[in-house]
Amino acid sequence: MRVFSKAPADDDRPLVARARRGDQDAARALFERYFDRIYNYVYARLGRVEDAEDLAIDTMTRTLTRLDLFQDQGVAFSSWVYRIAHNATIDHYRRQGKVTLVQLEDANLPQSADPSEMAVERMSNEDLRVAIRELTEEQQQVLILRFFQDLTAAQVAEILGKSVGAVQALQHRALASLERALAGRPVN
C-alpha cells in the first residue's frame, strides 16, 4: 500500500515557474510533492535508510537549485526529477565501486520444482525488495517505477527514454526474472 495516493500529475509547471523566480513557497511545495517519492525510489534501489536520505536530499537539491536546466527538456517535470534521482543513484554506485550486475537470464540460479507453485503472497516484503535489487538496472527501474511509484507505462517510458511497448516488454521480462530469482529463495 502506497503512502502517496496518486502518481505525480503534470501540473508542476506553474510551481516550477514560481520556484525559478525565487519563490520559496513554490520550492517548498515541489519538495513536499516529490521528496517522499524520491526517498521511496532511492530506498528501493539501495536498501539503506541513510543512503536513501542522502540521495533524496541530493536529488531535491540538484532539482530545485538547477531549475534553469529544466526548460526545453521536452519531458514532464516529474520525469526530470526521476532521471536526476536515477543519475544520483548511479553516481552512488560508482562511488561505492558496485559492479555491473549480470542479466538474471544469464545467471546461474537455483531452480525450484515449479515456479507456478511459488507462494509469492507468503514472501516477505524484504525478500521481494532484496530480489528486485538483484535485477539489472533497467529491470529494477521499471518495476520500482511501475509498482512502487504507481506510474503508468507511458510515464515510465518518458523517464527511461523508451517507447511504451519497450517498457511493457521490459516489465514482462523483469517480472519473469524476479519470479526466477524468488524461486531460488526459501520462503520465510
Partner 1 sequence: MISENQRLERLAERLRAIEAAAPSPAAKIRAWNLVSAGLQKPAAGVARERSGARLLVAGLAASALLVAGAIAAAADSLPDSAFYPVKGTIENLEGAFALTAADQFKHHLTLAATRLREADAMFARHRVDLADQALVGMEDQLTSAAAVVKTVKASDAPVAGSLEGQLQQAVQTHDNQLAGLQGQVTNPTAVVAITRARNRAQEALKVAAAAADHGPGNGNGNSSASASSSDKGQSASGSPSGTTEPTLP
Neighbours of 73 (CB within 10 A): 11
- The torsion angles phi and psi of 185, rounded to 5 degrees, stand at -110, 145
Q: Which residue of 7, 18, 36, 134 would you call a contact of partner 1, by CB under 8 A?
A: 36
44 contributes a contact to partner 1 by CB under 8 A? yes
Site for partner 1, residues 119 to 148, rule: CB under 8 A: 120-121, 123, 125, 128-129, 132, 143, 146-148
172 contributes a contact to partner 1 by CB under 8 A? yes
Are residues 78 and 8 in contact, defined by beta-carbon separation less than 8 angstroms?
yes
Are residues 70 and 80 in contact, defined by beta-carbon separation less than 8 angstroms?
yes
Site for partner 1, residues 3 to 22, rule: CB under 8 A: 3-4, 22
Q: Which residue of 13, 91, 103, 187 would you call a contact of partner 1, by CB under 8 A?
A: 91
69 contributes a contact to partner 1 by CB under 8 A? yes
Q: Which three cell numbers stand for residue 72?
A: 526545453
Q: In sequence order, which residues have a C-beta less than 8 Å from that of residue 40 and are 6 or more positions away? A: 3, 4, 148, 149
Burial class (CB in 10 A: 0-12, 13-18, 19+), 29: middle
Binding site for partner 1 (CB under 8 A): 1-4, 22, 24, 27-28, 31, 35-36, 39-40, 43-44, 49, 52-53, 56-62, 64-66, 68-69, 72-73, 83-84, 87-88, 91, 115-116, 118, 120-121, 123, 125, 128-129, 132, 143, 146-148, 150, 172, 175-176, 178-179, 182
